[in-house]
């Protein structure tokens, strides 16, 4: 299995607006994941937040990808947002059992917590994480400001993550919040995306950055500049960061990801990103 110094991905693998830019004209919806996985190294699995897929769907996803591709599936919202990790051991067990066909391709399971989940509930999170088999990698995304105050509550949280080898997922929403709310997509992003400080701390081997981009591609370069310094350091330390690129409507997310990856490749040794299938006349492109 190939070891990528860094894994680049998007928030989704299926978008109708990517037909001419990423997949290639004539690509059927069922073929999009295969085309996506021929370029990118991973993907955020938002779909599982809303519904648990069927066994046949999971088998299709497995067939469409390869062993070097990673999903970072979110836990169902019933577990993280409705129950807030309480009284849901059976639901977690059931979910992990259903997802078994893809276990070998899970880069990390994402525990995205709502802003109502406070530092006072850290013991709940600790207990919940013991329900996972030891070999499963976890990433936790918090949104309550108490986890960002650089005082005891954040220090206890970070210390526990480090002790247990759990990744702290980093939300970088500075770019999108710098954009004026003059389009429906930006307005929607301002309403739904968390506006939290960027604490660039790596607590385990696979720090994940969720970079929520500005609609103007060039405007993102200044915001990504600090990551051009931080990511090479983490890679040099032997870590394998995940960099997930979003834009307000995600129409140009593939192009932004490509642009930022090339900038990063100038700072550290990264394998060349495969050309988009759309640029190769719909031919399947190898990652190697």
Contact (Cβ atoms closer than 8 angstroms) between residue 244 and residue 210: yes
In a domain, 187, yes or no: yes
Q: What is the CATH number of the domain that holds 80?
A: 3.20.20.410
Domain that holds residue 76: 7-280
CA distance 271 to 2: 11
Q: How does pLDDT run across 133-167, given as a tens digit for each residue?
A: 999 999 999 999 999 999 999 999 999 999 999 99
Per the prediction, the chain carries an average pLDDT of 95
Q: What is the pLDDT of residue 286?
A: 38
At 2, is the pLDDT very low, low, confident or very high (cuts 50, 70, 90)? confident
Q: How does pLDDT run across 60-88, given as a tens digit for each residue?
A: 999 999 999 999 999 999 999 999 999 99
In a domain, 285, yes or no: no
Calculate mean pLDDT across residues 42-63.
96
In a domain, 19, yes or no: yes
Quickly tell me which residue has 């019933």 as its tokens.
78
Radius of gyration of the chain (CA): 18
CA distance 276 to 66: 17
At 250, is the pLDDT very low, low, confident or very high (cuts 50, 70, 90)? very high
Q: What is the pLDDT of residue 130?
A: 98
Q: Does residue 129 have a pLDDT over 90?
A: yes
Q: What is the pLDDT of residue 215?
A: 95
In a domain, 1, yes or no: no
At 282, is the pLDDT very low, low, confident or very high (cuts 50, 70, 90)? very low
**How many domains does one find in the chain?**
1
Exposure string of 13-29, with b = 16+ CB inside 10 Å and e = fewer, is bebeebbebbbbeebee
Calculate mean pLDDT across residues 175-181.
96
At 280, is the pLDDT very low, low, confident or very high (cuts 50, 70, 90)? confident
Residues 6+ apart with CB under 8 A from 200: 170, 226, 227, 230
178 DSSP assignment:
T
In a domain, 248, yes or no: yes
Q: How does pLDDT run across 181-234, given as a tens digit for each residue?
A: 999 999 999 999 999 999 999 999 999 999 999 999 999 999 999 999 999 999
CA distance 157 to 128: 14
Calculate mean pLDDT across residues 171-175.
97
Contact (Cβ atoms closer than 8 angstroms) between residue 161 and residue 203: yes
List beta partners, residue 180.
Answer: none
Q: What is the pLDDT of residue 288?
A: 32
CA distance 73 to 68: 16
In a domain, 160, yes or no: yes
Q: What is the pLDDT of residue 45?
A: 87
CA distance 189 to 14: 19
Q: Does residue 240 have a pLDDT over 50?
A: yes
At 3, is the pLDDT very low, low, confident or very high (cuts 50, 70, 90)? confident
Give ∠ CA 96-102-104 in degrees, rounded to 5.
100
In a domain, 286, yes or no: no
CA distance 31 to 227: 33
**DSSP SS3 for 37:** helix
Q: Does residue 276 have a pLDDT over 60?
A: yes
Share of the chain above pLDDT 70, in %: 97
Q: How does pLDDT run across 111-126, given as a tens digit for each residue?
A: 999 999 999 999 999 9
Residues 6+ apart with CB under 8 A from 153: 119, 122, 146, 147
In a domain, 2, yes or no: no
């Amino acid at each position: 299995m190939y070891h990528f110094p860094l894994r680049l991905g998007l928030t989704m693998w299926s978008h109708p607006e990517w037909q001419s830019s990423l997949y290639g004209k004539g690509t059927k919806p069922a073929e999009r994941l295969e085309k996506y996985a021929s370029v990118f190294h991973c993907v955020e699995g938002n779909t599982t937040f809303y519904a648990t897929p069927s066994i046949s769907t999971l088998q299709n996803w497995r067939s469409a990808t390869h062993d070097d591709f990673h999903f970072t599936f979110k836990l169902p919202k019933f577990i993280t947002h409705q129950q807030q990790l309480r009284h849901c051991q059976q639901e977690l067990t059931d979910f992990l059992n259903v997802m078994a066909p893809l276990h070998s391709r899970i880069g990390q399971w994402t525990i995205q917590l709502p802003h109502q989940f406070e530092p006072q509930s850290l013991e709940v999170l600790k207990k919940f994480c013991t329900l996972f088999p030891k070999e499963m990698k976890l990433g936790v995304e918090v949104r309550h400001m108490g986890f960002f105050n650089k005082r005891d509550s954040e220090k206890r949280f970070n210390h526990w993550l480090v002790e247990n080898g759990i990744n702290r997922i980093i939300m970088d929403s500075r770019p999108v919040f710098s954009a004026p709310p003059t389009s429906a997509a930006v307005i929607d992003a301002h309403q739904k995306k968390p506006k939290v400080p960027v604490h660039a701390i790596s607590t385990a081997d696979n720090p994940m950055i969720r970079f929520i981009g500005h609609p103007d591609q060039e405007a993102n370069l200044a915001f990504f500049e600090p990551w051009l310094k931080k990511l090479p350091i983490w890679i040099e330390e032997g870590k394998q960061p995940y960099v997930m690129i979003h834009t307000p409507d995600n129409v140009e997310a593939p192009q932004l990801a490509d642009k930022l990856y090339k900038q990063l490749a100038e700072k550290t040794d990264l394998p060349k990103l495969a050309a988009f299938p759309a640029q190769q006349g719909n031919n399947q492109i190898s990652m190697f």
